[in-house]
Structure 1
Amino acid sequence: MPANPRPWKTAPSNTTSSNATSSHTTPSSPFSVPPGLFLVLIALCTAVTAANIYIAAPLLPLMARDFGSTPSAIAWIASVAQFGYAAGLLFFAPLGDSVNRRKLVMVLSLVTSGALVLGAAASGATALAAAVLVASAATVVPQLLVPLVAERAPAHRRASHVAALIAGLFTGIVAARVLGGLAGQAFGWRYVFLGAATLTAVLGLASAAVLPAENRRRSGPLFAGLAHLPGVVRGSAELRRACIRQAGMYGAWSALWTSLALLLTGHGDDGYGMTTATAGLFGLFGLAASVVAPLAGGLVDRFGAAKVVAYGYTLAAVSVPLFWLGGGALWALCAAAVAIHMALVSSHVANQTLALTTTSTPAVANTAYVVAGFAGGALASAFAGTAFTRWGWTGVCAVAALWLALGWATTAIRVRKAPGARAT
């Protein structure tokens, strides 16, 4: 992908013979903002929309009490959110190569807000899960914005620019756990959903207003990008590797992180007996991801993706036994939380940069990459919920270890490179 020396001006979209669209973009927007402020606003929008995927996890104990159930019995709602996000990515994210992203961001932000409002009014777990499914499917705005940033960043700074948005994404995840837990304890989980709906609408519309104007004319079906997705994946061995190894990493993180509230708020041998608010504060360890993301971006720009992913997997492998010890030792749980976030974000920056630059259809490639990651995460979360019910925290750690092992097995398979090609 050629570099654009003016990263925040629009450029014609990459096209291949398989694309069903033709596009033309113009470098104007209703509101002109400095490049630095543009990136900050996009990062904030990414943070808020990413938080919506995880908003339910720290609130499970409060929801269970409201619905007359137990936290472990409704833990599947966290998995529903991830499956919904994966489905939304599959259908909506490829549109970034073919439709006006400004209008798409606006519509999806409003749909997400509306679904969160309905979730706040839900009278039972089934209705809440349906609302979470819709909200998660529509909250794919970050993955429409990341390819745009990557397309317009200088080649030698592309990973660093992508890392800025990933830092925003993980900040949103931390906010969902920490602020969501505190606000839920103080005001109730329904008000947390209403607050998330308001922030999503405000920042989504603001981001849409400052996006570069695009006048794209489709020459094929609306979801042509989805139809081309299998071919794009088959045509790039590097993209396949990035998808599977991140599915392994994200699955391990998701199994541990979505089950953590059950451990922290549980009683007896399977918990620490914390309140929802106190357990939510544990999410502050996730700020390690926001700090590491810019560093990881610089390392990828300098050394390539393969080395950064290898270091990430090594760190994740160390974190799993620490998490297991953390079932009875709080210091180990704290150390493991920092380690797993550092591992996840470094691997994510490397793999997503590779996915965005390995084909001429970045939105479709990015869709394949993120869907693979979230599908791996959703499956791991589902298995982890069952494992916690049957075998406690040890079962959750076993699920995380299995996902890492599967991801690393694929990572270890080297791809034959053409003469003179750069290793990734």
Structure 2
Amino acid sequence: MPSSAAPRRAPLRTASPRGTSPSLFLVLIAACTAATVANIYLAAPLLSLIARDFGSTPPAVAWIASVAQLGYAVGLLFFAPLGDGVNRRRLVGALTVVTTAALAASAAAPGIAVLAVAVFVTSAATVIPQLLVPLVAERAPADRRALHVAAVISGLFAGIVAARVLGGLVGQAFGWRWVFAGSGVLTLTLGLATASVLPAERRDRDGSLLAGIAALPGLLRRSPDLWRACVRQAGMFGAWSALWTSLALLLTGPAYGLSTATAGLFGLFGLTASAVAPPAGGLVDRFGAAKTVRAAFLVAAVSVPLFWLGGHVLAALFAAAVTIHTALVASHVANQTLALTTTSTPAAANTAYVVSGFAGGALASALAGPAFGHFGWGGVCAVAGAWLVLGWGATAVRR
């Protein structure tokens, strides 16, 4: 069994949240997830405003968005595995304070370099959602575990949409610094409120705080189910990233000639993800993760030719945006639920899962840009299709 081969989990003694109903507890965690994950994507819609304020050009400051992604990856590796060995109430509270301070530094940054450092720290400390998801999976009834995980995932995607859509609108109206400042206030409020109701935990830690990082390769090697979930989600998230990160190039190019603001409204299709997550959780609880992931890959396979057709037909692009988000979220709910329940160290397993998906998405996005430059929109669709084939094909043979 995977759990017997995994590293021994530290003994845990918990107390229920005081004065908080289970439903309210879940809503608060979902809201906190939305507010904190948005911090990773705040800079992207504000690049033109930041460049103008510092007397630069948007391409010259575009690397700040990449700094946020790098910071998040570092945070995942160093902070997310700590959920198996430390008191999560204290860790969430500490990360909330650090994130708020970094957001304040971003709002007051006198130059690009200071802003980049502040964005990096913000993103590295904003891994709170990946500490809360394993907690939700642990506390949920077995027959509704995926549904509870899906509720938090709904909050996660809602936060991404809010950062990209509302962040741009607020920045245009009041200035980019107020976006960072406002997010800091929201993060501090919801983060501390969530930390205050988390179960009290007293863990007898085995090994050093960084032992979880060192155990990740062995954990993947010993748990075929976790390995399969990681690879499949890397393929799915890679396909989504290739298409979604290149979409603005299509919409603002000769094919459609839309303005940047109008093209940005396509981010609203991300709300599909929030709507799909709870039903996807119900499907996982009823039919299992394997069948749900298989159906998600079939839906994603349909979305790729729709995206290709969307290079010329706007209605096809609308349909493709809905189908790819449906496939991504259904796959994510199923694979993450599997990752959280297949070993005795859910925080470390969740770290391996999220880092794998993130790596697949980053690599596919890196290939999509040159593909668009050399082969047009069809090249991007080819990258997405290849990632789906690799993600499923690499796990088709049972290990």
TM value normalised by structure 2: 0.91
By how many angstroms is 1:413 displaced?
2.3
Q: Report 1:329-408 matches (<5 A).
A: 329-388=313-372, 392-408=376-392
**Which of the two has greater helix per residue?**
2
2:224 matched residue in structure 1: 237
Aligned length: 398
Q: Which moved more, 1:118-127 or 1:167-176?
A: 118-127
Q: Which amino acid aligns with 1:240?
A: W
Q: Given that residues 64 and 71 in structure 1 are in contact (C-alpha distance below 8 angstroms), is that contact kept between their aligned partners in structure 2?
A: yes
Residue 89 (structure 2) pairs with residue 102 (structure 1): yes
Distance 1:124 1:261 in 2: 27
Q: SS at the partner of 2:203?
A: strand
Distance 1:86 1:222 in 2: 18
By how many angstroms is 1:300 displaced?
0.9
Q: Given that residues 76 and 382 in structure 1 are in contact (C-alpha distance below 8 angstroms), is that contact kept between their aligned partners in structure 2?
A: no
Q: CA RMSD in A?
A: 2.5
2:211 matched residue in structure 1: 224
Change (3 A) 1:291 1:242: same
Residue from 247, 251, 257 that aligns with 1:272: 257
2:148 matched residue in structure 1: 161
Unaligned ranges ≥5, structure 2: none
By how many angstroms is 1:175 displaced?
1.2
Change (3 A) 1:332 1:311: same
Distance 1:142 1:56 in 2: 19
Residue 31 (structure 2) pairs with residue 47 (structure 1): no
1:196 matched residue in structure 2: 183
By how many angstroms is 1:222 displaced?
1.4
Residue from 132, 150, 165 that aligns with 2:137: 150
Residue 15 (structure 2) pairs with residue 27 (structure 1): yes
Q: SS at the partner of 1:214?
A: coil
Residue 388 (structure 2) pairs with residue 410 (structure 1): no
1:18 matched residue in structure 2: 7
Q: Which moved more, 1:310-319 or 1:88-97?
A: 310-319
Change (3 A) 1:91 1:15: farther
By how many angstroms is 1:387 displaced?
4.2
Q: Given that residues 181 and 279 in structure 1 are in contact (C-alpha distance below 8 angstroms), is that contact kept between their aligned partners in structure 2?
A: no
Distance 2:24 2:133 in 1: 16
Distance 2:113 2:396 in 1: 41
Unaligned ranges ≥5, structure 1: 2-13, 416-424
Q: Which amino acid aligns with 2:14?
A: T
Distance 2:301 2:234 in 1: 15
Change (3 A) 1:374 1:108: same
By how many angstroms is 1:66 displaced?
4.2
Q: Could you report, residue by residue, the CA deviation over 1:309-329 in whole angstroms, capped at 9, with x for unpaired residues?
A: 111112222222322333443
Residue 68 (structure 2) pairs with residue 81 (structure 1): yes
Distance 2:58 2:386 in 1: 24
Change (3 A) 1:406 1:84: farther
Distance 2:318 2:158 in 1: 18
2:194 matched residue in structure 1: 207
Residue 302 (structure 2) pairs with residue 318 (structure 1): yes
Change (3 A) 1:330 1:350: same
Change (3 A) 1:91 1:257: same
Change (3 A) 1:131 1:406: farther
Residue 42 (structure 2) pairs with residue 58 (structure 1): no
Distance 1:70 1:388 in 2: 22
Q: Which moved more, 1:278-287 or 1:32-41?
A: 278-287
Identity of aligned residues (%): 71
2:79 matched residue in structure 1: 92
| 4+ residue runs over 6 A deviation | 14-17
By how many angstroms is 1:198 displaced?
1.6
By how many angstroms is 1:143 displaced?
0.8
Distance 1:173 1:119 in 2: 19
Q: Which amino acid aligns with 1:158?
A: R
Q: SS at the partner of 2:344?
A: coil
Q: Given that residues 6 and 344 in structure 2 are in contact (C-alpha distance below 8 angstroms), is that contact kept between their aligned partners in structure 1?
A: no
Change (3 A) 1:301 1:206: same
Q: Given that residues 220 and 226 in structure 2 are in contact (C-alpha distance below 8 angstroms), is that contact kept between their aligned partners in structure 1?
A: yes
Distance 1:17 1:298 in 2: 28
Q: Which amino acid aligns with 1:25?
A: R
Residue 169 (structure 2) pairs with residue 185 (structure 1): no
By how many angstroms is 1:391 displaced?
5.1
Distance 1:126 1:391 in 2: 35
TM value normalised by structure 1: 0.86
Q: Which amino acid aligns with 1:18?
A: P
Q: Which amino acid aligns with 1:234?
A: R
Q: Could you report, residue by residue, the CA deviation over 1:257-280 in whole angstroms, capped at 9, with x for unpaired residues?
A: 23334444x3x526633243x333
Q: SS at the partner of 2:258?
A: coil
Q: Given that residues 16 and 361 in structure 1 are in contact (C-alpha distance below 8 angstroms), is that contact kept between their aligned partners in structure 2?
A: no
Change (3 A) 1:298 1:28: closer
Q: Report 1:66-77 matches (<5 A).
A: 66-67=53-54, 71=58, 74-77=61-64
